[in-house]
Amino acid sequence: MSASCCGTTASLELEQIATSGATGALPVVVIGAGPVGLAAAAHLAERGQDFLVLEAGEQVAASVARWGHVRVFSPWKFNIDAAAKRLLEADGWSEPDPEWLPTGAELITDYLAPLAKLFGDKVRLHAKVTAISRLGYDRVRTNGREEVPFLIRLDGGAELRARAIIDASGTYVTPNVLGASGLPAYGESIVEIDHALPDVLGADRDTYEGKHTLVVGAGHSAATTLLALAQLENTPITWAIRAGGAGRTYGGGAADALPARGALGTRLRAHVESGRIRLLTGFFVHSVARSGNQVTVVSRDPSGAEQSVTVDRIVAATGYRPDHSIASELRLDLDPILGSTRRLALLIDPNQHSCGTVPAHGVDELSHPEPGYYAVGVKSYGRAPTFLMATGYEQVRSVVAAIAGDWEAARDVQLDLPETGVCSSNLAEAQEQRVGLATGVSGGLLATPLPLATVGASNDGGGCCG
């Protein structure tokens, strides 16, 4: 069967792959063929573990493809998993320039697609997981629970079994809402709202040129979109943030510990000060409603004071949240704030950590009360916006070692990153090339920690990758 099969035939084949036999003979199922899911597959392949990768999209790394026009901050040398590199090189692949900052599209064509090809039909496309449980066990039943396989239900009704699950399904398809209190704004589901990071200067140009656009959010996704919009003529731009000022987004300018962030912030500040971008502060989105061909967005702040703006388009750049609903019949121990495991939450709390200060971690921090289920990659961080691919690669190295029974390797967690270099400083250059700006990893692995007070203070869903 080809990797692009879908529909009933593919579903039946999937059922046949894993519906019988002892739990130990079943494959490890990886959910999601993004950078971290495919890295998990590489480690499973190296350790001779049977596996199957289920990808909802019509191509591998379907979420990365949605931001394919964006150039990331971290150079190739931090974006390639070690096991994946070994497998690819054995197949004759040449590593891209380690210092180059790839776009999302380049991540796929130069790395992830060739990697997935190595695994043949062990990577299944159009295979969206809708639910996971234990065969014959709901969440309450205990006796013998650990002995039975996982049951995985797919969109379309097929079911298959697994001896362990590595859930690398990401957060990109579950963005945060526009509403300021974490609840959807009134009317949010009935007006058209654009996802973060539209390709303003490329494929989506006609959508935005000449249209008054409201960008909501204080992270780097918002900043990137605003700077791209500012290059379009006759295109009014309004930027709305909850905070009382945009200092956090601007960063420290030329004095910023992170030159990339400084370059982004300096340009943005200049556009706001010149009036090219109209900034609305203290803007707490309460409702959105159509008014003719436009949309009126109303803010109601905690004191009840209202302000509003009427625009043609809205871009919501308010961050992402994990969707744990597919695992609701499993026993998860989730941190009440972030939605990561509780042990991991202590290490990644954005009130205390930037990307650069998150320590290496692995199977122990990622384990739930449900043995054999691990959420990894950006999903493992829940709502913390500080995830790095390199961190996810170490997560899956550790988790796969544990699944293979090599607990010594599983617990020997390391992040081999230098103090500088994960976040390149040539953001401004990338911007000049008009190839898109990274939103990710503003924190980077720099020696100087981010100013933590500003990260936590406004809680605007920004941070490294917001």
Ligand X SMILES: Cc1cc2nc3c(=O)[nH]c(=O)nc-3n(C[C@H](O)[C@H](O)[C@H](O)COP(=O)(O)OP(=O)(O)OC[C@H]3O[C@@H](n4cnc5c(N)ncnc54)[C@H](O)[C@@H]3O)c2cc1C
Q: How far is residue 233 from each of residues 205, 306, 390, measured CA to CA in Å?
A: 11, 30, 39
Please report whether residue 356 would count as binding ligand X according to CB under 6 A. no
Nearer to ligand X among residue 62 and residue 229 (C-beta) = 62
Please report whether residue 102 would count as binding ligand X according to CB under 6 A. no
Minimum Å gap between C-beta 109 and ligand X is 15
Among 111, 208, 283, 387, binds ligand X (CB under 6 A): 387
Among 44, 185, 366, 438, binds ligand X (CB under 6 A): 438
Minimum Å gap between C-beta 30 and ligand X is 9
Nearer to ligand X among residue 37 and residue 251 (C-beta) = 37
Please report whether residue 11 would count as binding ligand X according to CB under 6 A. no
Among 27, 37, 217, 259, binds ligand X (CB under 6 A): 37
Please report whether residue 176 would count as binding ligand X according to CB under 6 A. no
Among 441, 445, 446, 450, binds ligand X (CB under 6 A): 441
Nearer to ligand X among residue 41 and residue 64 (C-beta) = 64
Among 322, 339, 350, 440, binds ligand X (CB under 6 A): 440
Give me the torsion for CA of 41, 43, 49, 51, rounded to 10°. Answer: -10
Task: Check if the beta carbon of residue 288 is closer than 8 Å to that of residue 191.
Answer: yes
Residues 115-144 that bind ligand X (CB under 6 A): 128-129
Long-range contacts of 401-409 (CB under 8 A, 24+ apart): 401/43, 401/47, 401/363, 402/362, 402/363, 403/28, 403/44, 403/49, 403/164, 403/372, 404/47, 404/49, 406/47
Task: Check if the beta carbon of residue 356 is closer than 8 Å to that of residue 444.
Answer: yes
Minimum Å gap between C-beta 172 and ligand X is 4
Please report whether residue 68 would count as binding ligand X according to CB under 6 A. no
Task: Check if the beta carbon of residue 170 is closer than 8 Å to that of residue 40.
Answer: no
Angle of CA points 416, 419, 425, to nearest 5°? 115
Please report whether residue 193 would count as binding ligand X according to CB under 6 A. no
Between CA 369 and CA 221 the distance in angstroms is 35
Among 10, 52, 63, 358, binds ligand X (CB under 6 A): 63
Minimum Å gap between C-beta 227 and ligand X is 14
Among 61, 123, 309, 399, binds ligand X (CB under 6 A): 61
Nearer to ligand X among residue 115 and residue 297 (C-beta) = 115
Please report whether residue 51 would count as binding ligand X according to CB under 6 A. no
Minimum Å gap between C-beta 262 and ligand X is 17
Nearer to ligand X among residue 104 and residue 187 (C-beta) = 104
What's the half-sphere exposure (Cβ side, CA atoms, 13 Å) at 21?
14
Among 26, 33, 366, 430, binds ligand X (CB under 6 A): 33
Q: x/- string (CB under 6 A) for ligand X, residues 291-330? A: -----------------------------------x----
Dihedral sign (CA 284, 285, 287, 290): positive
Q: What are the strands of the beta sheet with 123-124, ordered from one edge? A: 123-124, 51-54, 28-31, 164-167, 373-375
| Crossing angle between the packed helical segments 82-90 and 35-46, to the nearest 10 degrees | 70
Strand partners, 186: 287
Q: Where are the alpha helices (DSSP H) in 18-155?
A: 35-46, 62-66, 82-90, 104-107, 113-118
Copy the structure tokens of residue 389. Answer: 């691919």
Nearer to ligand X among residue 298 and residue 441 (C-beta) = 441
Beta pairing, strands 373-375 & 123-124: unpaired
Interface region with ligand X, contact rule CB under 6 A, candidates 165-173, 243-251, 340-348, 357-365: 165-173
Please report whether residue 200 would count as binding ligand X according to CB under 6 A. no
Please report whether residue 366 would count as binding ligand X according to CB under 6 A. no
Nearer to ligand X among residue 326 and residue 348 (C-beta) = 326
| Crossing angle between the packed helical segments 389-403 and 82-90, to the nearest 10 degrees | 80
Please report whether residue 385 would count as binding ligand X according to CB under 6 A. no
What string of DSSP letters covers 381-425?
TTT-S---HHHHHHHHHHHHHHHTT-HHHHH-------SS-SS-S
Q: How far is residue 402 from each of residues 35, 136, 356, measured CA to CA in Å?
A: 20, 25, 26
Interface region with ligand X, contact rule CB under 6 A, candidates 72-80, 247-255, 297-305, 405-413: 72-80
Please report whether residue 239 would count as binding ligand X according to CB under 6 A. no
DSSP 8-class letter at 86: H
Query: Judged by CB under 6 A, how many residues of this single chain contact ligand X?
Result: 41
Beta pairing, strands 123-124 & 51-54: parallel
Task: Check if the beta carbon of residue 214 is closer than 8 Å to that of residue 311.
Answer: yes
Minimum Å gap between C-beta 444 and ligand X is 9
Nearer to ligand X among residue 39 and residue 279 (C-beta) = 39
Task: Check if the beta carbon of residue 318 is closer than 8 Å to that of residue 216.
Answer: yes
Among 82, 113, 148, 173, binds ligand X (CB under 6 A): 173
Nearer to ligand X among residue 324 and residue 343 (C-beta) = 324
Between CA 355 and CA 360 the distance in angstroms is 11
Binding positions for ligand X, rule: CB under 6 A? 31-37, 54-57, 61-64, 67, 70, 72-74, 128-129, 168-170, 172-173, 197, 326, 377-378, 387-390, 392, 438-441, 465
